[in-house]
A and B are shown apart, each in its own frame.
Chain A
Amino acid sequence: MEKALEEARKALERGEVPVGCALIDTKGKCVAVGSNRTNELGNATSHAELVAFEALGAQKFNRGELTLYVTCEPCVMCAAAIVQIGIIGKIVFGCSNPRFGGCGSVRSLNMYKECGKGGDDMFVPEIQSGVEAATAVQLLGEFYTRSNPNAPKPKKRRVKK
């Protein structure tokens, strides 16, 4: 989790939403790290988790072999990616994400078990939450006090009479 937080701090320095992650194999070796790069790349799919998966390159792993440590609950997109890539056996995350969370907040991983689709390709990992959550929230808090310079200005809400 220290590695993931370190990645998140790097993301914050680059002006990104500070989320970082690390992929650890069964021997405790870190095989890849990733941090959010959505602003830098102008690509909404460049979340920390997907960046880390990209960094794995063409390496091969067994089903459910790796543990994913991520500072913030993976969003619906990343959770779907984790299930489909099949190599993640366990997700350990810090704070939960009520806006986008795909591991219990907005959507749950159960829907992949229940749908009966995906076949042998997917693997639904177990989840541990709340690890170093306070630190992760603090990092996010630091970012949002600065606000995302690239996001479009929100529409002003009409004041109700």
Chain B
Amino acid sequence: MKKVRRRYLYFKLHRDGSQIEEKQLSLTLWKSLLSLYGEIKAADSKLYVIDYDETTGEGILQCTLPSLQQVIAAAVVIGEINGTAVSFEPKRTSGTIKGLNR
């Protein structure tokens, strides 16, 4: 089986209100991806929140290279999480986590 290349996205989740837990964020990302692109694309994305700081809202998520654009689009159209208004800002993408920190 051909290995699917991964991409890492460094993001910041701006919020106007209470802190957003990693689990809530992950669930909302999945729901948005599922709603916009359907079950097959959502499954193929292999979306995973690797790191997330609830205080600063900064984090890293992982997905497959072909689904990167779709994952970002799905994240950007999220307007609120559990009643808290949010704005998702994609900062940097890289093929490695190390590359994000450079």
A-B interaction: no
